[in-house]
Amino acid sequence: MHDNAKGSLLMVGAMIGFTVNDAILKVIGGHIPLFQMVFLRGIPATLFLVLLAWRMGMLRVKAPAQDWALASLRALMEVGAAYFFISALLRMELANVTAVLQVLPLSVALGAALVFREPLGWRRLSAILIGFCGVMLIVRPGPDGFTEQSIYALITVALVTIRDLAARRMSKAMPSIVGAALSSFAVGSAAGLASLTEPWVAVTSQDAAYLFTTAIVVALAYLCSVMAMRVGEITFIAPFRYSGLIAALLIGLLVFGEWPDALTLIGAAIVVATGLFTLYRESLARKKNQLAE
């Protein structure tokens, strides 16, 4: 299979996996404390990834120090993103918080220009600014619309942007599954320490089944997300991130009876449209550079 096809399928798998995980956490989050829930999910998720890495013979990694630093940075960003995202998720509609995250292709493009000095023309910069206006329609700044959870969702975008840029800079010497296992371990460990500050509750057999399911789903989503950022062309693969919004709309309607209002849908459409335009312009720029060479 072509690398672009692999990357697109991995991205779709990651987005659907993360959305299913989010839905399960939203279901059980009302009666299990946040940190306890993330910690209990992290144990089987990390064990699954470590066991898979062992079976694949990838536990002995000979990667340069820079790769380990980038993997550690990615894991740290994952810890912060998990906290802020789940905090927002438990109090916002699933589709709304997912729609905010659709600005990521725009923020990654802007971050690559600022940090890695990648070229960014006025058209793509304009699309990024318009896209952020779309996000503002979703979170709605003002005394009635802009809530603490909206701020948490925007912080998640910033952290995940850094996470994805770090993953993109890692060399092939760092196996994707090791990066995913490190992120899972970091999130679970941080949640375990934080859970000591809050009272634990008894977990029912039904909730235990939910936790085990979400652990496996999020472990596979972690793996797919790392692999997707490292194969094929990012301009081809990144648009498939929007499959998460479609999944969130369907799950939100079928499971929670939620459907975003008109302003949220308009904002989401603006974000997706500008994201696709930005990726299209980036693809044209790369083709021109290749012809020039």
pLDDT in tens, 133-162: 887 777 776 555 567 888 898 899 999 999
- Dihedral sign of CA atoms 276, 238, 6, 117 in order: positive
Please say whether the beta carbons of 139 and 264 come within 8 A: no
How confident is the model at residue 78, as a pLDDT?
Answer: 92
Q: Are 153 and 91 a contacting pair, CB within 8 Å?
A: no
Q: Which of 178, 133, 74 is nearest to 268 (CA)?
A: 133
pLDDT digits (tens, 9 = 90+) for 64-120: 889 999 999 999 999 999 999 999 888 888 888 888 888 887 787 788 778 877 666
Alpha-carbon dihedral sign for residues 63, 68, 70, 76: positive
Chain segment 163-204, per-residue pLDDT in tens: 888 888 888 888 888 888 898 899 999 999 999 998 999 999
Highest mean pLDDT among 220-234, 252-266, 273-287: 252-266
Task: Give the global pTM.
Answer: 0.78
| pLDDT in the model for residue 213 | 93
The model's pLDDT over 33-75, given as tens digits with 9 standing for 90+, comes to 999 999 999 999 899 889 988 888 887 888 888 999 999 999 9
Q: What pLDDT, on a 0 to 100 scale, did the predictor assign at position 142?
A: 58
**Mean pLDDT for the stretch of residues 232-242:** 72
Per the CB < 8 A criterion, the answer to whether 157 and 107 are in contact is yes
Report which DSSP code applies to 241.
G
Q: What is the mean pLDDT of the chain?
A: 84
How confident is the model over 259-285, as a mean pLDDT? 79
Query: How confident is the model at residue 69, as a pLDDT?
Result: 92
pLDDT in tens, 262-272: 888 888 888 88
What integer pLDDT is reported at residue 130 of this predicted model? 85
Instruction: With a cut of 80, say whether residue 233 has pLDDT above it.
Output: no
